[in-house]
Amino acid sequence: MDARFSAADEAFRDEVRTWLEENLVGEFAELRGRGGSGDLAGAVELRRAWERRLAAGGWTCVGWPQAFGGRGLELSQEVIFNEEYARARAPGRLGHIGETLLGPTLIAFGTAEQQRRFLPPIVRTDELWCQGYSEPNAGSDLGNVQCRAERDGEQWVVTGQKVWTSLATISDWCFVLCRTDPTAAKHRGISYLLVPMQQPGVEVRPIRQITGTAEFCEVFFDGARTDVANVVGAVHGGWQVAMGTLAFERGASTLGQQMMFAGELDQVIAAAKANGAAKDPVIRQRLADAWIGLKIMRYNALRILTAAAGGAALSREALVTKLYWATWHRDLGKLAMDVLGARGEIRTSGAIDDYEIDELQRLFLWTRADTIYAGTNQIQRNIIAERALGMPREPGAAGKG
């Protein structure tokens, strides 16, 4: 494994860093650190403007092939872009679901017409997307989706409920897993539909979280419509496409995420030094452990990405990634609270109905979600047991949302 970056990569790093320094200024300066853990829907209007600035600079969809409007970056440079973006504390991306999930899915499975229609607005950041997988009885057991779509002439009519749909309030489109053949076996008879959100048959109800913010939502489809052309992959063949989308969930953004984690760990260390918690021997051990965990994550990510760039796949090693970072991040949240001590349990505002919390409190509350979304810890262990250790599949095969 050679995890070093080349001279050309380092020159590219300078270019990214310079662009961010020159552009994260003026009104955008206040976006530094926004839109991250527990603040996904914060400062939306200014972040929309920031998305447009990124697009104008050619810094959206950087890993997509140029033929689809991307920058066509090599994996190493995509990693560098994500690292520098996080290092600059540039705001969390509003368009990340379209850019990292739907776009790559359309590039892999979409028709030429779907690619022409939907990819350019993602690159320009004109259209935002949300992911309509989970339902009240279909989370880990994603194959159990009950939301249905029925053909009516040249349209599909969608009826049912989705839940935990992140950023649905600001999304223009949703990719929705629907049951289109109720007579087929569980994982068959599902189709992957692209559904416009701004229409009478769609109702979005935000769900308030323990962070006090409402980033995910219930989405009710009641006779919502979409054109027949808006099925990705084969009709009734949506399961394969849905699994393809999930495979795009990780990858080059991993190291950027770790850079963000490093920034959070720095904040926890600074708090420990400031309030004297750093003198507590157990806290010191846990801080050191957190730092070590971050290094392990980095080296594992680098060896996986280095292998991938060389055309190989360290698939067994990649299986531990989500479980490891989610658990690490949840533990960091707990550590932050233990560093703050009793003060961590007090809101920063005294008003009863005010939910003012500080960054470390928000980190703690938000990180409770990490071991749930994108496949719970239990599901990750099932996957490791089956795919890495060759153990028998459990009776009800599990998916995720």
Catalytic residue numbers, as ranges? 249
Q: What is the DSSP letter of 138?
A: B
- Candidate segments 48-56, 72-80, 130-138, 150-158, binder of ligand FAD by CB under 6 A: 130-138
- Give how many residues touch ligand FAD by CB under 6 A: 22
Cβ closest to ligand FAD, residue 68 vs residue 129: 129
Distance CA 197, CA 130 (A): 9
- Contact pattern from residue 75 through residue 114 relative to ligand FAD, giving x for each residue in contact according to CB under 6 A and a dash for the rest: ----------------------------------------
N- to C-terminal Cα distance for the chain?
33
SS3 label, residue 388: helix
Distance, C-alpha 211 to centroid of its chain: 18
Rule CB under 6 A: say whether 400 interacts with ligand FAD. Answer: yes
347: tokens are: 């809101």
Among positions 12, 164, 261, 364, the unique one binding ligand FAD when judged by CB under 6 A: 164
Among positions 54, 268, 287, 398, the unique one binding ligand FAD when judged by CB under 6 A: 398
Helices (runs of H) and strands (runs of E) counted in the chain: 13, 8
Q: What is the DSSP letter of 391?
A: P
Q: What's the min distance (Å) between Cβ of 20 and ligand FAD?
A: 27
Cβ closest to ligand FAD, residue 167 vs residue 287: 167
- Residues 6+ positions from 222 with CB-CB distance below 8 Å: 159, 201, 202, 203
- Contact in structure between 142 and 177 (CB atoms under 8 Å): yes
Rule CB under 6 A: say whether 60 interacts with ligand FAD. Answer: no
Among positions 192, 216, 239, 261, the unique one binding ligand FAD when judged by CB under 6 A: 216
Kind plus residue range of the DSSP H or E element containing 151: strand 148-152
Cβ closest to ligand FAD, residue 174 vs residue 265: 174
Rule CB under 6 A: say whether 376 interacts with ligand FAD. Answer: yes
Among positions 50, 118, 133, 364, the unique one binding ligand FAD when judged by CB under 6 A: 133
User: 52: exposed, middle or buried (C-beta count within 10 Å: 0-12, 13-18, 19+)?
Assistant: middle
Rule CB under 6 A: say whether 192 interacts with ligand FAD. Answer: no
Strands 148-152 and 129-132 come out as: unpaired
Rule CB under 6 A: say whether 369 interacts with ligand FAD. Answer: yes
Rule CB under 6 A: say whether 267 interacts with ligand FAD. Answer: no
Cβ closest to ligand FAD, residue 216 vs residue 328: 216
Distance CA 187, CA 224 (A): 23
Rule CB under 6 A: say whether 379 interacts with ligand FAD. Answer: yes
Nearest Cα neighbor of 79 from 4, 131, 20 is 4
Q: What's the min distance (Å) between Cβ of 366 and ligand FAD?
A: 8
Among positions 98, 104, 139, 237, the unique one binding ligand FAD when judged by CB under 6 A: 139
Cβ closest to ligand FAD, residue 28 vs residue 373: 373
Distance CA 51, CA 57 (A): 10
Distance CA 221, CA 216 (A): 16
Residue nearest to ligand FAD (CB): 139
Distance CA 278, CA 176 (A): 48
Cβ closest to ligand FAD, residue 76 vs residue 134: 134
Interface residue list for ligand FAD (CB under 6 A)? 130-134, 139-140, 164-166, 216, 369, 372-373, 376, 378-379, 382, 394, 398, 400-401
